[in-house]
Amino acid sequence: MRCLLLLLIFLSSSAYAGIFGASTYAECVDEVVKSAKIKEALYEGQSNCYEKYVRPKQDKIQNKAWQSNFRSATQIEISQLRCRRQGKYQNYYFIDCTFSDLPMSNYAILKLNVTLKDGSSKDIEFTNYAPDLKWKDGALTGQSEVEVEKINSKTLKVKDTK
């Protein structure tokens, strides 16, 4: 009888942990923060949470979006596009782009043609590595080895996440 009672207690405690354990990335990170004793353990725990909760969703969205073709942007998208130069870092010039009223989470990749300071032009891609509506709609960043003189917004092409 005691063995049966101990077995039931053991099974119920493990079931409790499985049912009420972390079910989201944020909950997982909260648990890691509470239990981590050193900085390296914190980083490893955050990485594990990312791989468990974020990466599968990200891969599913990216695979679908990245396999699609670019489409020409609508006039609304072109008019709402806002890009700004962010300066140079480690031999690359960075540019951030966003839309004034459209959520960036709707887009997997933006492509723009830019004119560089040396007179040449090239396409720069701005990739959304986490196109999930739960993520903030921050700007997407692109880079070039030569400073950008002009951003040709009428050349905007996009890949949608859906």
Chain segment 56-115, per-residue pLDDT in tens: 776 666 556 667 789 999 999 999 999 988 888 888 899 999 998 888 888 888 999 999
Residue 134's φ and ψ, nearest 5 degrees, are: -80, -15
In this prediction, residue 121 has a pLDDT band, given cuts at 50, 70 and 90, of very high
On whether the pTM is more than 0.75, the answer is no
Taking the CA atoms of 58, 79, 151 and 87 in sequence, report the sign of the dihedral they define.
Answer: negative
| CB atoms closer than 10 angstroms to residue 30 | 13
Mean pLDDT of the chain: 79
- The reported pLDDT for the residue numbered 157 is 94
Which position has the token pair 């009888």? 1
As a whole number, mean pLDDT of residues 31-38 equals: 85
